[in-house]
Amino acid sequence: MTPTLFADLGLLIILLGLALLITAARPAFIAVAAYMAYGLVMALAWVRLAAVDVALTEAAIGSGLTGLLLLGAVAWSQRHTQFQARRLGLRPGIPRRAGAGRGLTLLVALACGGVSAGLAWVVLTLPEPAPSQVPLVQAALPITGLGNPVTGVLLVFRAIDTLLESVVLVFALVGVWSLASDPAWGGRPRSLHVVQHSGALVLLGQLLPPVGILMGLYLFWVGADAPGGAFQGGTMLAAMWLLVLSAGLAEVPAVASRRLRLLITGGPLLFLAVGFSGWAFAAGFLGYPPAWSKPLILAIEAALTLSIAAALAMLVAGPPERPTAADPQPDPQPERNQQRGHR
Amino acid sequence: MSVLDLYSYLLIGLGVLFFCTGTLGLLRFPDALSRLHALAKADNLALGLVVLGLLPQASWPLGAMKLLAVWLFALLASTTVGQLVGEAIRRGDPFR
Amino acid sequence: MIPAATLFGLGAALIIGLGLFGVILHPEPLRKVLAFNLLGSGVFVLFGVVARRGGGRLEGVPFGDPVPQALIITGLVVAFAATVLAVALVLRLAQADWTHADDSHRGGQGQVPQPSPDAAPDTSADLSPGLPPDQARAPSPRAVGPAAASRSVPNASPPAAA
């Protein structure tokens, strides 16, 4: 057994252990924490699979943003369960929803095991030699002026996917905002609302963003020739914005804000405009005139980076809300909490 | 094996040892604050040792500076997170 | 000798099975969303294995097939968007459940309400400290549903502009 295979095996065992924890842990908080760790280890696995672009995306979105989102959701639902239980005069510890019976669990486990076994069989019998698009990409990449084949695929060869993906982000945001209650419509998302300023978080919110923003812009810029790109850079920028917001150093914009909406739709709109102009100046929809391809791609990527950053941050911030009594209150009184401790 | 390689092995090995100590503390200490302490102290030192051990193997100067930056950011992050978790524990939040 | 890609492929198959199990059997909606993300991650790795097999080595540095890799990046972002939407729906549903429970409770039914999804008993200590029960009972919760919305319109403040 070679050392690298040994390392891969270790990576895989950690991943499977975390996956088991995500599925089986009883408190939702532990499952979400395990998911964040899983995303980071998975980023290492992507590097081992020679997919550094994917590794960056996985660490940023799969672990970071999804983890933040789910953590916020778990905290929210626990807080509201508590609050409502107290309001309705119920016992604070709410009984869990009933799970499936033993027989059904066994049946589902067998079925899922069957799916796994089937997939494992597929993996073991993948065609040899493996089909590959590498020669095609390598032959066509010089025309684009790009050095990173993944960026080439994302913004030239399969640009339609990327265009639709950036539109999906906008649609998801429309969907999330639509879940606001009528009186809250047009207002500010409150999930990142700061109840009590924490000195440490404020310091981090002041120290890190200059470096983080630089790193986000670098990731976007270097994406043309090395691993990186609009999505990785945009996520980095979104993370910095979220950090500043959750440190209470800036206020979450209202969803009715024109500037915010322009920022979010700017990237996809520019992409669409360039796409349509391809009919006039190039081979067709989403075609670039060869002499202009590199500057056009960079312009689209720059606008996309900003739009993705704004859309991702606002997606995590959630729908606009009005203050409720179930929100966390400032000035905690620990002694009362201890009296009410239900552990 | 050159002297530098030996140096790398030594420091990375020491770092791994400190990682193990920190993890042991995380698993064995009785309450959240001391677990946090074990994690923050031992793991930051361990990461520093691993980074120092890797320095001669990295390209000079950019690779080495990136490695040092990784350590600095990890220090900053763990300091902040330690502080935040500590505050949450003092407030009596349930995530412990 | 098993190549690394095959190893990760087998792991991905197991992860997909685990995720599927969670999606089907977890009673709490948020955990279902989490399990679905796990399932999706397994699918991405499986695709990544295909990408790795389609690649090779250039001057000793391994590379993968960029086409599947680009699709995986797209997939990760879209999966995140779907997760956000799902989580927002779950939380909204929990609010609606509570309003419903509130109505039936006040109506003297004495019915045990459907709780919000993630009430793990062992982590259910207080998250909203410093709110005495009498004060906690007074303010109305965020209203949900057409009837409830109209109920809370009078104290609606105009939406804040940027």
Q: How far apart are the first and last CA of chain B?
A: 46
Tell me the pLDDT tens digit for each residue of A305-332.
Answer: 999 999 999 999 988 887 776 666 665 5
Lowest mean per-residue pLDDT among A278-287, B70-79, B86-95: B86-95
The average confidence (pLDDT) of chain A is 86
3-state helix, strand, coil in chain B (%, to 5): 85, 0, 15
CB B26 within 8 A of CB B38: yes
| A184 and A278 belong to one structural domain | yes
The answer, for C125 touching chain B at a CB cutoff of 8 Å, is yes
- Interchain contact A198–B (C-beta under 8 A): yes
ipTM: 0.89
The answer to whether the Cβ–Cβ distance between A112 and C128 falls below 8 Å is no
CB contact under 8 A, B80 and A201: yes
Q: Contact at 8 Å (CB) between A332 and C129?
A: yes
Q: Which chains lie within 8 Å of chain A at 3 or more CB pairs, if any? A: B, C
- Phi, psi of C57, rounded to the nearest 5 degrees: -130, 135
Yes or no, beta carbons of B93 and C124 under 8 Å apart: no
Q: Which residue, A204, A231, A194, is CA-closest to A216?
A: A231
**A157 and A73 in a common domain:** no
Read off the pLDDT of residues A154-166 as tens digits, 9 standing for 90 and up: 888 888 999 999 9
User: Is B96 among the domain residues?
Assistant: no
Helix extents (H) in chain A:
3-24, 28-48, 52-57, 66-87, 102-124, 134-144, 149-152, 159-178, 199-222, 230-246, 258-281, 293-317, 334-339
Of A65, A86, A107, which marks where a domain is finished? Answer: A86
Please report which confidence band the pLDDT of residue A285 belongs to, taking 50, 70 and 90 as the band edges: confident
Task: Note whether residue A330 is domain-resident.
Answer: no
Residues A51 and A164 in one domain: no
Q: Taking 60 as the threshold, does the pLDDT of residue B90 lie above it?
A: yes
CB within 8 Å: B93 and C127: yes
Number of domains in chain A: 2
**Interface mutation target, options C124, C126, C128, chain B, most CBs of B under 10 Å:** C126
End-to-end Cα separation, chain C, in angstroms: 62
Domain match, A166 and A78 both: no
Q: Which CATH architecture has domain C4-114?
A: Orthogonal Bundle (1.10)
Question: For residues C131 and A144, which has the higher predicted lDDT (pLDDT)?
Answer: A144
Domain range list for chain C: 4-114
The answer to whether C126 contacts B94, with C-beta atoms less than 8 Å apart, is yes
Of A58, A77, A329, the CB nearest to C118: A77
- In this complex, which chains have at least 3 CB pairs below 8 Å with chain B? A, C
Q: Which residues contact C21 (CB under 8 A, 6 or more apart)?
A: A23, A108, A109, A112, C35
| Residue A228 belongs to some domain of the structure | yes
pLDDT confidence tier of residue A141, bands split at 50, 70 and 90: confident
* Phi and psi angles of residue C62, each rounded to the nearest 5 degrees, phi first: -70, 145
Q: What is the DSSP letter of B40?
A: H
At residue A189, the 3 state secondary structure works out as strand
For B26, the domain range is 3-91
Chain C, nearest residue to A162 by Cα: C74
Q: Find chain C residues with C-beta within 8 A of B93's C-beta.
A: 125, 127
Assigned domain for A23 exists: yes
What pLDDT score was predicted for residue A330? Answer: 61
Q: pLDDT tens digits for C37-83?
A: 999 999 999 999 999 988 888 777 888 899 999 999 999 999 999 99
What's the structural domain count of chain B?
A: 1
Indicate whether A131 belongs to any domain: no
Give me the domain span that covers residue A270.
140-322
Is residue A101 in a domain?
no
Does A63 share its domain with A159? no
Tokens 């810029």 — which residue?
A221
pLDDT recorded at residue A98: 64
SS3 A333: coil
Q: Is residue A234 within 8 Å of A309, Cβ to Cβ? A: yes
**H/E segment holding residue C58:** strand C56-58
Residue-wise pLDDT tens digits, A209-221: 999 999 999 999 9
A98 domain residue, yes or no: no
SS3 A319: coil
What is the structure's pLDDT at A101?
A: 82
| CA distance from start to end of chain A | 48
Q: Which amino acid is at A19?
A: A
